[in-house]
Structure 1
Amino acid sequence: MSRTDPEKQERKRLQHDAEHEKPTKRNPVLFYLLVLFAAAFLLLLMSFLMQRRANQEAINNLQETSNSASQSLQNTIAQNEELTKQVEGLQSAVSENQQTIRDQEDQLEALEQENEDLTKSSQALDWFWQINEAYVRGRYTQARSLIEEMGQELPEYLPKESVTNNDRFSPYDRYQEIYEALY
């Protein structure tokens, strides 16, 4: 019996241990939660990576847009500077043209005045010729009436120098001589 007792005791002990030992159940809910948590974590990780890639693409697009806008701005500034130079050149040309116009207007006025003076001088010479002719022929009354019709202004347009260089009176001096003789 000696052999049987330790065996018995061993069996008893094993049976007791088996009875008192809690069965190890695997908890399926815990495993399910663990799988769900892992899946959620993987989804969050994938979402983060996709969002990061989308943000990087957006940043690259914004950078390209910024570079394009910067280039457009530089082109616009260069065009503006070029147009400013053209405007300054055109303003200078306009100023020169206006000065030329003023000079030509002054020349035109001078020519018109000279033309008016020559016209009056021609008229005065015509009157002088008639007055001198009447005086030389002894028609003093006719000479006086011609002097009165001629007026006070036209004698000033008679040439004051003789162009023939014959030591004779100028038309103005001859008119004065006739005027003084008649009045």
Structure 2
Amino acid sequence: MKFKKRGDGAQDAVPAPEEAASGRQKPVFIYIIILFTVAFALILVSFVMHQRSNQQVLGELHNNVNAIEELQDALDENLQLQKAIERAQKELSSTEEQLESEQAQRKSKEDESSALLGLYCLQQQYSAGDYAQCQASIDQYEKSGVMDALPKESGNADVVSPFQRYQQLKEGVAQKMAEPAE
């Protein structure tokens, strides 16, 4: 039996069943590879975006931590300054008390000096025999209270205290003023 050739001499080739099955599997395999590649690419993109988001959040957290540290440093400095202010205020009040004490002592010494000067003037007037001027000076000293600042005690037992001398002069002037003029 002779076979006829069909057409140009090319035979219709009918693929064998094995070839047909492997031919259909190739496009499915390529499709699955493409799907896995796309899925992997999407997972990779998602990972990169998540990392970038995490880095932004970490950057913000780092900025917040830096701000909190700066705030803590400022609060610590503020606390130190408040303690320094408290120490300075205590020192200032102590210094003010010391100043007031020294001013009181100085005023006391000035009053004493003024009283001693007044006593000296009174003695000079008494020695000169100007009893009317002595009485005027005594009245002026009594009004001003300057003679209250005279020391009540002297440093030496043999010497009369300035206050006692003032009393003696006052009594002497009173006696001389009471005597009739000759």
Quote the offset at 1:177 in angstroms. Answer: 2.4
Query: Which structure has the higher relative contact order (CA within 8 Å, separation 6+)?
Result: 2
Which residue among 93, 113, 138 is the counterpart of 1:122?
A: 113
Q: Does 1:74 align with 2:65?
A: yes
Spell out, residue by residue over 1:123-178, the C-alpha distance to the aligned partner (whole angstroms, 9 max, x if none).
Answer: 11111101122223432211111112333410111122213x15222111211222
Structure 1: state its 5+ residue gaps: 1-39
Q: Does 1:176 align with 2:167?
A: yes
Partner of 2:54: 63
Structure 2: state its 5+ residue gaps: 1-30, 175-182
Quote the offset at 1:66 in angstroms. Answer: 1.8
Once superposed, what is the RMSD of the aligned Cα atoms?
2.9
Look up the SS of the partner of 1:104 in the other structure.
Answer: helix
Write the letter of the residue equivalent to 2:105: E
CA distance in 1, matches of 2:170, 2:121: 13
Partner of 2:151: 159
CA distance in 1, matches of 2:144, 2:172: 17
For 1:79-98, what aligned pairs fall within 5 Å after superposition? 79-98=70-89
Identity %: 22
Which has more radius of gyration?
1
Write the letter of the residue equivalent to 1:73: N
Write the letter of the residue equivalent to 2:135: R
Write the letter of the residue equivalent to 2:88: N
Write the letter of the residue equivalent to 1:111: E
Quote the offset at 1:119 in angstroms. Answer: 1.8
Write the letter of the residue equivalent to 1:70: L
TM-score normalized by the length of structure 1? 0.65
Write the letter of the residue equivalent to 2:50: I
TM-score normalized by the length of structure 2? 0.66
